[in-house]
């Protein structure tokens, strides 16, 4: 055995509990666990993990590395091709840290052919190991990962993060109004009832694989109960069980195979350590006698500090957190180095971590050399990442991480036993089984290995209760802080706010608006998204397939998404040049339309932009009103879909929140005026069904189609935001209306392409336009005054031109004719283009259109009498017969029929 003495030695000798490791496993089981005695009539012994930090204060980076290694194994079980040499090399680093313990690890070479020398310090070793894992191709966003409460809630999140999957953990909490998706029993546990409380049950009903994460597999009975329950609700083809250790017997393993055959699915098991465990005869009776003989031993109590420690409360250190018990999306570990982006509601961003760590560091006693960060019961992952951040911020201190627990364990202060001491206190969480005693282990001083003296324990303990905890419940006699201040000189309590679901029934109230940075890259004050987050849905399809489905009538264009376009370096240069050239003109148009909008809505409009082209325009209008008039206008963005109408859930939200007279809809530009007509028809329908009348007045930056009365200009020139897709629109996709994903009371959906952050110019575009606001203010105000006195009645010249072009080019379908610079750009980026028509005098303004046409092999025709700068024609013969506006197929001799 590598480390001496083994912390399972006492139970091994006293009760005959023997562990045998499989030599083929990544790590010996004895490296991963010690043993202790339970106060539990169902099971006498407890496997005490050395890498989980549930009962043993542990280096945070060791916990992170072990969880991520388990996640890599799960990814391999899901089908990823993972280099076994990398896994074994990482396992060797973990083994070295576990062997060396508190000592500085010696220099060795990792199992990578001798190319890199492993770092010397334990934390550096672990960081090196984690970085090797992050390079593995184990992304599986299609799966659902479930962790088991309470021990494996943090471990499950680490596995989910490696896979990039949705994550939820079972819970014994009982939130008011919660509706359980399912429940299952853990027979040997001190508290047996587990429940799943997803806010969005559709995630668990998805047909993809499920990953179940626990810290140990003894018999596998809990996993069998879980799979049976899940499969009855919604069958899944594959279940991957990921555990730190697997000690099932051959008979227990056979039960997994039998269940898989019975359900018609596959069940695969991965673990860091595998082996077997032998229990002596009559172990429950012998354990009871052994514990009885120890009950009066003073070694069982934690040592006391010389005087009760101080208690410091830190509040408002991070944004509100949505517990993983309600279900959260996860990220990829290599993207965030141990934390998660703010886009994930159950996490804290790198910036938040740094802030929390600095606040904690400032609150610690100046003399603190050893610090314990202590999570509470099911609240593990965020405290773990905070502990890791504190360790980074305090390189000269010894920082360890652990959590409180409900498990009653017998403490014995001896080096060959896993639990040296305990503090006990009253629970402060609302759980199904009601209040009861809770515990924290190994938090107080303990004897040295030779038993000659007592160590000092921790200089300070940082407690992170469940977010939303009432401070009164964790202070005073019998509380957790009273118990902790008896064994340390200082207790720092970090109180985090909770984001608790407001509705569990799927009613309209469940449609919750989104803001950045959780959704989209715009600042939260710039826009509120009345959209459903579909970032995990597989919606992208090749352009050809989408066009075939759209033109054949088999699908609406909004049921799927085009493959997201990332510009080439040449095209990006064109965008930058277009932005530089047209920014003053765009700024002037923003000012003009905003002045008209303020006048139209008594200086208090609620701007509601039509996603996504309208979103940046709405933000710019809001910024103009704020900069020029000191007005803080609300700004929302919502979906409108041609052929479907407006998002009625979003309209109901607006009707509940504001006076309908204040609402002003905003878009980027008009072409033939199809969206203007769609808007009017949708609002007429909404008035008939809901009795609420919104004005169909639409404000746009540019109205070359002459179909609205509120506009900044009627010139057809390049609005630079039309050049790009999500990277200039807050990293948000075009909106989606797919009944498989959008329930009747959901907002329409969209995807947040967070992985494109490196190419995002959304905020830069806004800044480039806003930079000209002061300079163009006089001309914008003068233009607005002139337009206010002019006749702006729509003439619909755009629609008339489109009808003429549709006939002249033998298309016979106005939906396949897209007039204007913005719409032509969309044709080239998202559809199957046939031809591009360009006015000879606009060639300089449409340079990006000409480049796109060249790249896609689309012919360009110059048309001198064209009423727009350019027009894009979608291929009319992409299918066997494109259906015209009158419902008839195009004649066989139509132009392009042989293309």
888 confidence band (pLDDT: 50, 70, 90): very low
The pLDDT of residue 107: 36
The pLDDT of residue 708: 94
Would you tell me how many other CB atoms lie within 10 Å of the CB of residue 363?
18
For residue 629, is pLDDT > 70?
yes
- What is the 8-class DSSP label of residue 814? G
Quick one: what percent of the chain has pLDDT higher than 90?
Answer: 50
Residue 139, token pair as written in the block: 């992304």
Read off the pLDDT of residues 655-705 as tens digits, 9 standing for 90 and up.
Answer: 877 888 999 999 998 888 888 889 999 999 999 888 889 999 999 999 988
The pLDDT of residue 192: 42
The pLDDT of residue 202: 79
Read off the pLDDT of residues 299-310 as tens digits, 9 standing for 90 and up.
Answer: 444 444 467 889
For residue 116, is pLDDT > 80?
no
The pLDDT of residue 642: 74
The pLDDT of residue 63: 97
What is the enclosing helix (H) or strand (E) of 777?
A: helix 773-788
Comparing 738 with 404, the larger pLDDT belongs to: 404
The pLDDT of residue 748: 92
Task: Using alpha carbons, select from 483, 495, 489, 464 the residue that is nearest to residue 426.
Answer: 483
Q: Is 278 exposed, middle or buried (0-12, 13-18, 19+ CB in 10 A)?
A: exposed
- What is the 8-class DSSP label of residue 509? G
The pLDDT of residue 386: 93
Residue entry with tokens 């990823």: 80
Query: Pairing state of beta strands 817-819 and 540-541?
Result: unpaired
Question: Can you tell me the distance from the alpha carbon of 408 to that of 812, in angstroms, rounded to the nearest whole number?
Answer: 78
Tell me, letter by letter, the H, E, C secondary structure of 714-768.
Answer: CCCCCCHHHCCCHHHCCCECCCECCCCCCCCCCCCEECECHHHHHHCCHHHHHHH
Output the pTM of the full model.
0.57
Question: Can you tell me the distance from the alpha carbon of 656 to that of 640, in angstroms, rounded to the nearest whole number?
Answer: 19
Question: Can you tell me the distance from the alpha carbon of 509 to that of 745, in angstroms, rounded to the nearest whole number?
Answer: 8
Strand partners, 399: 371
For residue 643, is pLDDT > 50?
yes
Task: Using alpha carbons, select from 99, 75, 98, 72 the residue that is nearest to residue 87.
Answer: 72
278-292, 496-510, 589-603, 854-868, range with greatest mean pLDDT: 589-603
The pLDDT of residue 257: 96
Comparing 737 with 585, the larger pLDDT belongs to: 585
Question: Can you tell me the distance from the alpha carbon of 615 to that of 526, in angstroms, rounded to the nearest whole number?
Answer: 9
The pLDDT of residue 54: 94
Read off the pLDDT of residues 204-223 as tens digits, 9 standing for 90 and up.
Answer: 888 889 999 999 999 999 89
Read off the pLDDT of residues 420-462 as tens digits, 9 standing for 90 and up.
Answer: 999 999 988 777 666 789 999 999 987 665 555 556 689 999 9
What is the enclosing helix (H) or strand (E) of 786?
A: helix 773-788
The pLDDT of residue 100: 74
Read off the pLDDT of residues 771-786 as tens digits, 9 standing for 90 and up.
Answer: 999 999 999 999 999 9
Residue entry with tokens 């509705």: 503
Question: Can you tell me the distance from the alpha carbon of 193 to that of 149, in angstroms, rounded to the nearest whole number?
Answer: 10
Read off the pLDDT of residues 161-195 as tens digits, 9 standing for 90 and up.
Answer: 999 899 999 998 877 767 677 665 444 444 445 68
The pLDDT of residue 535: 84
Read off the pLDDT of residues 695-711 as tens digits, 9 standing for 90 and up.
Answer: 999 999 999 889 999 99
Average confidence (pLDDT) over 322-342: 59
For residue 86, is pLDDT > 90?
yes
Residue entry with tokens 């899901």: 78
Cis before 517? omega within 30: yes
The pLDDT of residue 39: 79
The pLDDT of residue 881: 29
The pLDDT of residue 497: 87
Average confidence (pLDDT) over 583-591: 96
Strand partners, 266: 238
> Can you spell out the DSSP letters for 408-462?
-EE---STTSS---EEEEE--S-BTT-S-EEEEES-S--B-TTSSSB----SEEE
887 confidence band (pLDDT: 50, 70, 90): very low
Query: CB of 649 within 8 A of CB of 746?
Result: yes
Lowest-confidence pick of 83-97, 337-351, 510-524, 783-797? 337-351
Query: Pairing state of beta strands 640-641 and 645-646?
Result: antiparallel
For residue 194, give the 3-state DSSP assignment: strand
Comparing 593 with 294, the larger pLDDT belongs to: 593
The pLDDT of residue 503: 59
Comparing 270 with 468, the larger pLDDT belongs to: 270
Would you tell me how many other CB atoms lie within 10 Å of the CB of residue 790?
8
882 confidence band (pLDDT: 50, 70, 90): very low
Comparing 433 with 158, the larger pLDDT belongs to: 158
pLDDT averaged over the chain?
83
The pLDDT of residue 183: 60
Average confidence (pLDDT) over 540-560: 54
The pLDDT of residue 722: 76
Cα-trace Rg, the chain: 32
For residue 296, is pLDDT > 60?
no
The pLDDT of residue 637: 96
For residue 175, give the 3-state DSSP assignment: coil
Average confidence (pLDDT) over 750-758: 90
Read off the pLDDT of residues 801-850 as tens digits, 9 standing for 90 and up.
Answer: 899 999 988 888 888 999 988 789 878 876 788 999 999 988 887 888 89
99 confidence band (pLDDT: 50, 70, 90): confident
Lowest-confidence pick of 62-66, 404-408, 809-813? 809-813
Which residues, 6 or more positions from 672, have their beta carbon under 8 angstroms from its beta carbon?
705, 707, 798, 799, 801, 802, 814, 817, 819
């Amino acid at each position: 055995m590598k480390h001496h003495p083994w912390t399972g030695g006492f139970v091994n000798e006293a009760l005959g509990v023997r562990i045998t490791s499989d030599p083929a496993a990544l790590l010996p089981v004895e490296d991963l666990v010690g043993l202790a005695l339970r106060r539990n009539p169902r099971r006498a012994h407890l496997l005490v993990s050395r890498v989980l930090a549930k009962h043993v204060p542990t280096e945070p980076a060791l916990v992170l590395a072990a969880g991520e290694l388990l996640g890599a194994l799960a990814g391999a079980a899901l089908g990823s091709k993972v280099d076994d040499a990398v896994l074994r090399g990482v396992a060797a680093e973990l083994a070295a840290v576990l062997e060396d313990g508190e000592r500085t690890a010696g220099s060795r070479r990792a199992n990578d052919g001798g190319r890199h020398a492993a770092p010397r310090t334990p934390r550096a070793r672990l960081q090196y190991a984690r970085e090797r894992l992050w390079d593995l191709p184990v992304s599986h966003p299609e799966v659902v990962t479930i962790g088991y409460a309470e021990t494996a809630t943090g471990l499950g999140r680490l596995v989910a993060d490696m896979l990039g999957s949705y994550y939820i953990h079972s819970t014994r909490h009982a939130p008011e109004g919660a509706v359980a998706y399912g429940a299952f029993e853990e027979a040997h546990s001190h508290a047996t009832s587990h429940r799943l409380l997803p806010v969005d049950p559709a995630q668990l009903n998805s047909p993809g694989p499920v990953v179940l994460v626990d810290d140990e597999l003894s018999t596998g009975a809990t996993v069998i109960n879980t799979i049976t329950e899940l499969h009855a609700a919604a069958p899944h083809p594959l279940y991957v069980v990921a555990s730190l250790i697997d000690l099932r017997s051959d008979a227990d393993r056979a039960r997994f195979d039998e269940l898989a055959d019975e359900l018609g699915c596959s069940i695969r098991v991965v673990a860091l350590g595998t082996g077997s465990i032998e229990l002596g005869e009559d172990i429950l009776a012998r354990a009871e006698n052994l514990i009885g003989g120890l009950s009066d031993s003073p070694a069982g109590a934690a040592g006391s500090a010389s005087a009760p420690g101080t208690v410091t409360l830190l509040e408002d250190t991070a944004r509100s957190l949505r517990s993983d018990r309600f279900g959260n999306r996860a990220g990829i570990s290599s993207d965030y180095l141990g934390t998660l982006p703010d886009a994930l509601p159950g996490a804290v961003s790198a910036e938040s971590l740094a802030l929390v760590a600095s606040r904690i560091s400032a609150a610690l006693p100046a003399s603190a050399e050893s610090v314990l960060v202590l999570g509470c019961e099911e609240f593990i992952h965020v405290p773990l990442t905070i502990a890791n951040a504190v360790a980074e911020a305090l390189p000269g201190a010894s920082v360890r991480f652990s959590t409180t627990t409900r498990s009653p364990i017998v403490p014995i202060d001896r080096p060959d036993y896993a639990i040296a001491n305990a503090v006990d206190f009253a629970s402060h969480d609302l759980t199904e089984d009601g209040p009861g005693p809770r515990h924290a282990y190994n938090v107080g001083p303990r004897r040295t290995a030779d038993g000659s003296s007592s160590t000092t324990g921790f200089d300070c303990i940082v407690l992170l209760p469940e977010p939303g905890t009432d401070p009164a419940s964790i202070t005073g006699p019998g509380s957790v802080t009273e118990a902790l201040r008896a064994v340390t000189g200082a207790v720092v309590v970090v109180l985090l706010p909770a984001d608790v679901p407001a509705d569990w029934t799927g009613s309209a109230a469940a449609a919750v608006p989104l803001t950045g940075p959780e959704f989209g890259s715009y600042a939260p004050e710039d826009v509120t998204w009345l959209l459903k987050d579909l970032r995990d849905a597989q919606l992208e399809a090749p352009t050809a397939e989408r066009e075939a489905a759209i033109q054949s009538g088999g699908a609406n264009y909004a049921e799927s998404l085009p493959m997201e376009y990332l510009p080439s370096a040449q095209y990006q240069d064109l965008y930058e040049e277009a932005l530089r050239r047209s920014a003053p003109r765009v700024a002037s148009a923003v000012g003009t339309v905003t002045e008209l909008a303020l006048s139209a809505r008594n200086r208090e409009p609620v701007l509601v932009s039509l996603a996504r082209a309208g979103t940046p325009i709405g933000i710019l209008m809001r910024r103009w009103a704020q900069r020029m008039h000191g007005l803080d206008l609300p700004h929302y963005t919502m979906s409108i879909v041609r052929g479907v109408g407006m998002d009625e859930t979003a309209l109901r939200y607006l009707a509940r929140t504001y006076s309908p007279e204040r609402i002003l809809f905003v878009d980027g530009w008009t072409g033939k005026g199809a969206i203007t007509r769609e808007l009017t028809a949708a609002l007429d329908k909404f008035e008939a069904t809901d009795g609420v009348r919104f004005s169909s007045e639409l404000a746009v930056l540019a109205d070359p189609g002459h179909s609205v009365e509120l506009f900044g200009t009627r010139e057809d020139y390049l609005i630079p935001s039309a050049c790009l897709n999500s990277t200039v629109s807050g990293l948000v996709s075009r909106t989606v209306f797919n009944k498989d994903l959008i329930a009747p009371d959901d907002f329409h959906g969209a995807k947040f392409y967070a992985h494109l952050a490196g190419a995002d110019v959304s905020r830069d575009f806004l800044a480039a336009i806003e930079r000209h606001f002061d300079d163009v203010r006089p001309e914008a105000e003068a233009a607005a005054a002139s337009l206010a006195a002019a006749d702006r009645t729509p003439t619909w010249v755009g629609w008339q031109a489109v009808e003429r072009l549709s006939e002249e080019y033998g298309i016979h379908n106005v939906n396949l004719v897209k007039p204007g610079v913005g719409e032509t750009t969309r044709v080239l980026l998202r559809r199957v283009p046939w031809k591009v028509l360009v006015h000879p005098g606009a060639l300089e303004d449409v340079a990006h259109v000409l480049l796109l046409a060249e790249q896609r092999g689309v012919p360009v025709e110059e048309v001198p009498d064209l009423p727009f700068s350019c027009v894009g024609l979608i291929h009319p013969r992409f299918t066997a017969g494109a259906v015209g506006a009158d419902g008839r197929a195009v004649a066989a001799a139509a132009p392009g029929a042989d293309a």
